[in-house]
């Protein structure tokens, strides 16, 4: 395993040589992460290193590092830690990372070509369990030029709208449980309307 390094084929090679339950579950977890990255067209930008020893005692799953083109040092690093917050009285699963500001400054030796705007257009939530569809919706609206964030917390409709208002979003898209219809809610005039999911995925969303 420590010699396995590369693209998605690494997971197939690892699955062929591991036999203990813990390793099998770890590989399946990596496959699920890869499936999510594929939805965002990011899978080809990921390298798996099964010999990487980066990590701290509180990490309970995957660890990762982020790099920028032309710079060989990691500019960010993090991982999954499901038990850390329980030490402080609030048990909850979590994933987080930190930036290495020094490496980031060295890597950004020229001005960025684009200036990011405020990410306040759309909050994407879901009524059912189809997380992949909600992720596809988020990707589609971003391709149209809208800024969008995924709501990863299960909330009622009222709670979602309240959260969106506090975070200064303009609209909420709730992907329906039947995977065909979504609801577009306007925070400004407090009205909603139905829109076909296929229309959103085809780039036909109009705010």
Reported as a single tens digit per residue, the pLDDT across 73-120 is 999 999 998 888 888 888 888 899 999 999 988 887 654 554 555 558
* Cβ atoms within 10 Å of 3's Cβ, excluding its own: 7
What span, in angstroms and rounded, lies between the C-alpha atoms of 204 and 197?
10
Does the pLDDT of residue 12 top 90, yes or no? Answer: yes
User: Could you give the 3-state DSSP secondary structure of residue 93?
Assistant: coil
What span, in angstroms and rounded, lies between the C-alpha atoms of 69 and 75?
11
Element (H, E) at 99: strand 95-99
**pLDDT tens for each residue of 35-77:** 989 888 889 999 999 988 766 788 888 999 999 988 889 999 9
Nearby residues of 133 by Cβ (< 8 Å), 6 or more positions away: 126, 175, 179, 197
Q: Which tokens sit at 28?
A: 């399946």
What span, in angstroms and rounded, lies between the C-alpha atoms of 39 and 64?
19
What span, in angstroms and rounded, lies between the C-alpha atoms of 85 and 66?
24
Range list for CATH 3.30.930.10 in the chain: 5-107
CB 207 within 8 A of CB 170: yes
Terminal-residue alpha carbon distance, the chain: 50
Q: Helices 131-143 and 21-39: crossing angle, nearest 10°?
A: 30
State the average pLDDT over residues 145-172.
92
Range list for CATH 3.40.50.800 in the chain: 122-201
Query: What pLDDT is attached to residue 118?
Result: 57
What span, in angstroms and rounded, lies between the C-alpha atoms of 196 and 204?
10
Query: What pLDDT is attached to residue 119?
Result: 54
DSSP assignment letter at 150: E
State the average pLDDT over residues 129-152.
91
**5-107 belongs to CATH 3.30.930.10:** yes
Query: What pLDDT is attached to residue 197?
Result: 94
Q: Under CATH, domain 122-201 is a member of which superfamily?
A: Anticodon-binding domain (3.40.50.800)
**pLDDT tens for each residue of 185-201:** 999 999 999 999 999 99
CB 196 within 8 A of CB 133: no
Q: How many angstroms from the chain centroid is the CA of residue 103? A: 23
């Amino acid at each position: 395993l420590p010699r396995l390094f590369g693209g998605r084929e690494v997971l197939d090679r690892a699955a062929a040589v591991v036999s203990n339950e813990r390793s099998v579950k770890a590989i399946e977890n990596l496959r699920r992460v890869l499936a999510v990255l594929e939805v965002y067209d990011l899978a080809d930008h990921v390298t798996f290193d099964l010999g990487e020893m980066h990590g701290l005692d509180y990490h309970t799953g995957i660890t990762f590092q982020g790099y920028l083109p032309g710079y060989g040092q990691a500019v960010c690093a993090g991982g999954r830690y499901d038990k850390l917050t329980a030490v402080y009285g609030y048990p909850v699963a979590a994933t987080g990372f930190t930036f290495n500001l020094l490496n980031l400054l060295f890597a950004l030796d020229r001005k960025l070509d684009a200036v990011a705007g405020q990410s306040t257009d759309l909050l994407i939530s879901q009524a059912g369990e189809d997380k992949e569809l909600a992720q596809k919706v988020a990707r589609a609206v971003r391709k149209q030029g809208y800024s969008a964030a995924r709501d990863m917390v299960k909330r009622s409709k009222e709670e979602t709208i309240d959260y969106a208002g506090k975070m200064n979003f303009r609209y909420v898209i709730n992907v329906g449980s039947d995977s065909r219809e979504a609801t577009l809610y306007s925070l400004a005039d407090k009205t909603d309307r139905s829109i076909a999911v296929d229309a959103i995925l085809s780039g036909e969303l109009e705010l």
